[in-house]
Chain A
């Protein structure tokens, strides 16, 4: 994919070129929105809004990491949604079963490479992490999602969030510590295989 050429064409109004970029980045944007918002439908809406906004404001892109630029649009869309949610609190978004317990993730999300037990463990871990992410302040959550889940470096995160590098470092450190404390608090819920194991890499 010749990204610079596609961006140039898209800036001239070529929607086909832009849609090629959309197909390339849609998973990254959707995952970012999903981790910040914690809900599939809202994440999908934020992703769509982000791409629409990106297309309309494409002339404001002046080079640099296009992924980081797109991340800024989706982060802004997520902040808009969070503000809306704050004004109009809603019920939990996970569907409940008849007993009032949260239903498992839809089957289409299952990883076919995992056994049913492994899949169940992975789902539990994902729920636990998402639960802890949801309890972080929004400005901490976006930093940790962009740096640790999307793999952006500090400078890119600073560019996305338009915050000084020092602020990003500080927020990331505190976000990691809070997440750690949260995960320790629900340690018994985590699958044994994932329980606070140390990263050896």
Chain B
């Protein structure tokens, strides 16, 4: 059996031959017994295949949302929180960076006296104060015992001015009479406190809070979505 005849017989069996080819083959079939035998073989084989029982699926193949990895549509608030997180984090970093730069330009902040030391024993005369300031400038890293000296000269007292004005003490009042101290305070503020620490902390807290919300919100939403879908 040549392959061409085999194909013709198979297609004829399925009614896939055009009328002219079909008529030509039928005329050959009447005269060619071997051709008829092959056709019969093909027909019986096809019959056996068609008799194969159709099995029922052993289980349902329906998909779950987990299999399909369905995700709920994004909450409209999530991008807002995401942006707020980025903004707060940016501001926090900027404020920290600015303050760090300023502090690094004032190398002896660590040895700066406590604000409480401001009021203790302010110099009584401008002459004395001036002399002490000169001394402090020449020896910036004085031990704590030299509080009085550093108080008047140290340009790095970040919170000294606000605290002394908020809670005036008799000593502070005395000090306010000293012109040199008054003139040195604006200098202190400009060089040490470009961004208030409260603001820096606030940005940090906001960045953390927004970030946490941005992380939790979609997960809670997706969890609820899955629970709802699985209940269907």
Contact = CB atoms under 8 A, between A and B. Distances in A.
Contacts of A22: 60-63
A176 B7 CA distance: 10
A180 B40 CA distance: 10
B48 A149 contact: no
Contact of B61 (A48, A148, A180): A48
A154 B1 CA distance: 23
A47 B57 contact: yes
A179 B44 CA distance: 11
Chain A CB within 10 A, most for which of B1, B58, B65, B229: B58
Contacts of A19: 62-63
A51 interface: yes
Given A149-B52, A169-B7, A176 B42 contact: yes
Nearest to A47: B61
A201 interface: yes
Describe B's contact surface by its main secondary structure: helix
B50 interface: yes
A129 interface: yes
Contacts of A148: 46, 49-50
Interface string B36-70: 00101111111111111111111111110101101
B146 to A, nearest CB: 75
Interface string A7-38: 00000010110110011001101110011000
Given A27-B57, A30-B57, A170-B7, A198 B40 contact: yes
Nearest to B8: A173
B49 A179 contact: yes
Contacts of A177: 1, 6, 38, 41-42, 45
Nearest to A34: B55
A111 interface: yes
Contacts of B229: 15
B49 A170 contact: no
Contacts of B70: 13, 15
Interface in B156-207: none
Contacts of B54: 27, 31
A180 B52 contact: no
A149 B55 CA distance: 12
A135 B41 CA distance: 19
B52 A126 contact: yes
A180 B55 contact: no
Interface string B194-232: 000000000000000000000000000000000001001
Interface string B128-143: 0000000000000000
Contact of B68 (A15, A27, A198): A15
A146 to B, nearest CB: 11
Contact of A122 (B40, B43, B53, B60): B53
Interface in B61-115: 61-63, 65, 67-68, 70
Contacts of B23: none
Interface of A: 13, 15-16, 18-19, 22-23, 26-27, 29-31, 34-35, 40, 44, 47-48, 51-52, 55-56, 109, 111, 122, 125-126, 129, 144, 147-149, 154, 169-170, 172-174, 176-177, 179-180, 183, 194, 196-199, 201
The 10 closest A-B pairs by CB, nearest first: A199-B47, A173-B10, A148-B49, A19-B62, A30-B57, A26-B57, A180-B45, A173-B7, A173-B6, A26-B61
12 contacts: A15-B229, A19-B62, A22-B62, A27-B55, A27-B56, A55-B63, A173-B9, A173-B42, A177-B41, A180-B41, A180-B42, A180-B45
Given A51-B61, A122-B53, A197-B44, 5 more contacts: A22-B62, A23-B62, A170-B3, A173-B7, A183-B48
